[in-house]
């Protein structure tokens, strides 16, 4: 009478295939010039750009204990 058969849903084959693909992605990965370049950009270029920006703006803004009308820029 109160079985859970009413709530069973059919599995979508495309979603099941996507799940298997994402689980086994490491098995089918190959280093190509494109993947090497993308990895280099995300490992070296992006952090260095963020680091340069952080170094240039270090201590430039002091947001603590500011009141309305105070200047944010220190120098």
Kindly state whether residue 1 falls inside one of the protein's structural domains.
Answer: no
Q: Which of 30, 50, 54 is nearest to 41 (CA)?
A: 50
Tell me which residue range forms the domain holding 34.
30-75
- Express each pLDDT in 35-52 by its tens digit: 999 999 999 999 999 999
Sign of torsion over alpha carbons 25, 27, 30, 31: positive
pLDDT-derived band at 14, boundaries 50, 70, 90 = very high
Cα atoms in the Cβ-side hemisphere of radius 13 Å centred on 45 = 7
Alpha-carbon distance 75 to 25, whole Å?
Answer: 51
Mean pLDDT of 52-74: 79
Percent of the chain at pLDDT above 90?
Answer: 57
The mean predicted confidence, pLDDT, of the chain is 85
pLDDT-derived band at 63, boundaries 50, 70, 90 = low
Whether the predicted pLDDT of 12 surpasses 80: yes
Structural contact between residues 74 and 62, judged by C-beta atoms closer than 8 angstroms: yes
Kindly state whether residue 58 falls inside one of the protein's structural domains.
Answer: yes
Kindly state whether residue 43 falls inside one of the protein's structural domains.
Answer: yes
Kindly state whether residue 21 falls inside one of the protein's structural domains.
Answer: no
Domain count, the chain: 1
Kindly state whether residue 13 falls inside one of the protein's structural domains.
Answer: no
Kindly state whether residue 49 falls inside one of the protein's structural domains.
Answer: yes
């Amino acid at each position: 009478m109160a079985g859970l058969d009413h709530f069973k849903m059919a599995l979508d084959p495309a979603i099941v295939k996507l799940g298997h693909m994402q689980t086994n992605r490491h098995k089918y990965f190959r280093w190509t010039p494109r993947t090497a370049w993308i990895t280099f950009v995300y490992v070296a270029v992006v952090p260095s750009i963020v680091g340069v920006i952080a170094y240039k703006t270090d201590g430039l803004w002091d947001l603590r204990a500011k009141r309305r009308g105070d200047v944010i820029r220190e120098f």
